[in-house]
Structure 1
C-alpha cells in the first residue's frame, strides 16, 4: 500500500489578523515518511514546535488531480498545511541538489505546534 500526504496551501493573515482562506488540498505520494527529529520550545512557557515526521519527495511530484508531474516546490512550500498519518502539521521545506551522480530531492519537516490550529 502506498502512503499519501495531503498538502493545503495556507496564505497567512489579512490586514485585520484574520486567517485568509486555505487553498485547494493536493494529495501527493512521497518517496518515504520518516520519524521527526526535533523539538523546539520558545520561552519558559512558550509554544513548542515539534517535528512529527520528515517526508521525502523527488524533485518532481505527480498530481493525480491534474494528471501531471510538477516541481515539488511548486506544490509544497514553507508553512503550508501538510496532513501526514492523520496529523495536521505545517511544512518546512528544504531542497537538496547534488552533482550528477548523487541523489537530489525535497525534504519536508512536518511540524505540529501546540496552541495553533492548522488548515
Structure 2
C-alpha cells in the first residue's frame, strides 16, 4: 500500500486488497537482491482503474511499473497487433489509435483489427 500512497499519490484508506503475491523464486544471492514482480487483486474495480490511470506518475522511474495481468492468449494476441498499432499511430492524429480489450486495434473509434472475433 505504501507504493500506491507514496508513488501514485492515492489515498489508500478505502482501498481493499483481496490478495497479493510475488512471482518467481527469491534470489539466493542476497547481494543481488532484486525486487520480484507483485500481483495484486483488488476488491473494487474502481480502485484498479484509479491506480491504472495514475500510472503516468511513474514516468522516469524505470524500476517501477504497472500492468494488467492478462492470460497468455491475450498477451500473444496483443503482441501480434503491436506492429500494426505502431504503424497506425504514426499515420493518424494523436489519441485516435489504441488497443482495446481483449486484442482489438481501434482507430478513430472504429475496430480495424480484432484477434478474437467471437
Q: TM-score, normalised by structure 2?
A: 0.30
Structure index of larger Rg: 2
Higher helix proportion (structure 1 or 2): 2
Larger relative CO (CA 8 A, sep 6+): 1 or 2? 1
